[in-house]
Amino acid sequence: MDDEDDWCAFLENESVASEIKWNFGFIFGREWAVSRVAPLDLTRLEENLRFHSALRRAHATFAPRQIEVTAEIFDWHALCIKQGHLREEILQNVEDVNSLLPLPITVYNPEEPHLFMAHQRTIDSLLCMPHTLESKAEMLAEFRRTFNDNQEILAEIDNFENTYHSNAAVQWYTRDSFVCRTINQALRSSNVDMMFQLRYILTDLYAHLNESYRQMHRSLQISTPETFYRGQLMSNKEFDTFNTLRGSIISINTFLSTTASVQIALMYAGKYHENPDLVSVIFSIETKPEALARPYANISHYSMFQDEEETLFAMGSVFRIGNIRQLPNADNVWVIHLKTINENDYQFNLTHLATA
């Protein structure tokens, strides 16, 4: 379906009620606008509804710009016009490649292995620090400092202070809230001071993933590789960088959101964008229980968007970049293969020896 007429014909053939209330809540932040955009010409109405929920999940580092469109539709023609307008709005938000936030990675360089291990050891040091009232107070102070001029968010922080408990860390992180924005900002920039201030909730998130990973693999006795996917848009420059890094070891500085569904990843890859400066990419991540430096866990039952089958990888997860190839039957989508590794990997072990 390449135009609005095809989209209208598709909708007219769907066995759904003629009276529909559509509520569209699109949130565009600097990161979201270029890395979380999906096409409207989908093949099933269910996927369009998934697209709607996906767009609502704005994990932008900076406060997003929100667009609210509510329409009660009584005929297909009006619905098609509304869809067309929304598609134009989305495409306008991928025009500025300069607003793209690249995936934050640290690359292992054999000539400077200490730089790679310094980041890993920073994470390990934070995770070893005790949970105290002081560390909680410092976390709250950092949230309030970051959003000191936003009264609405300051009120949310007050509520967070009164209701937060360690078991709710994932729920808070998966919301579009000050929690994920502040954490992502700290981890993306590798701001050690900010990470230290947030150590209370960072250790909660990591501990939850670690315990969930252990329980899952103990109960299911998983021994075969698992594959997860992440779809996003990236600049040509970033894509070229990944091409030069084939075979290299990298760590991803932030928590990494993935899905078990390649269809959902394709939505996030935004393969129908028309910006020549952007590339649609799917990361195909293969995990092996015996080759894992950091935990990961399915968090869909904690998420507000359970149909996305989300699996979250811990901050500092280590991978080796494998093949990079075009997706079959989709020449405008590229697949970057990643594999988990651990200290037993030969090259990674050399890193430890060189920095011991």
Instruction: Determine the longest span between alpha carbons in the chain, in angstroms.
Output: 69
At residue 344, the pLDDT reads 64
Reported as a single tens digit per residue, the pLDDT across 270-290 is 877 778 889 999 999 999 877
> Which of 146, 141, 118 has its CA nearest to residue 197?
141
At residue 2, the pLDDT reads 46
Is the four-CA dihedral 99, 100, 103, 109 of positive or negative sign? Answer: negative
CA 285, CA 137: separation in Å to the nearest integer?
Answer: 37
Reported as a single tens digit per residue, the pLDDT across 98-121 is 557 889 999 999 888 888 989 899
At residue 306, the pLDDT reads 72
> Which of 352, 325, 130, 341 has its CA nearest to residue 239?
325
At residue 345, the pLDDT reads 64
Q: What is the pTM of this model?
A: 0.73
At residue 301, the pLDDT reads 85
At residue 286, the pLDDT reads 96
Strand order in 249-252's β-sheet?
Answer: 105-107, 249-252, 317-327, 330-340, 278-287, 226-235, 256-259, 310-313, 296-298
At residue 285, the pLDDT reads 97
- Tokens for 287? 């995990």
The residues pairing with 28 across neighbouring beta strands, listed in sequence order, are: 65
Structural domains present in the chain? 4-99 (no CATH), 102-356 (3.90.176.10)
At residue 140, the pLDDT reads 98
Residue 165's Cβ-side half-sphere holds a number of Cα atoms within 13 Å equal to: 2
Q: 293 Cβ partners below 8 Å, 6+ apart?
A: 120, 316, 317, 318, 340, 341, 342, 343, 348
* Mean pLDDT, contiguous 10-residue spans, the chain (356 residues): 44 37 30 34 41 41 35 42 45 52 91 89 95 97 97 97 95 92 95 97 96 80 83 95 96 96 90 84 90 88 78 96 90 92 61 47
At residue 282, the pLDDT reads 96
Nearest 5°: phi and psi at 163?
Answer: -120, -15
Report the relative pairing of strands 310-313 and 317-327 from DSSP bridges.
Answer: unpaired
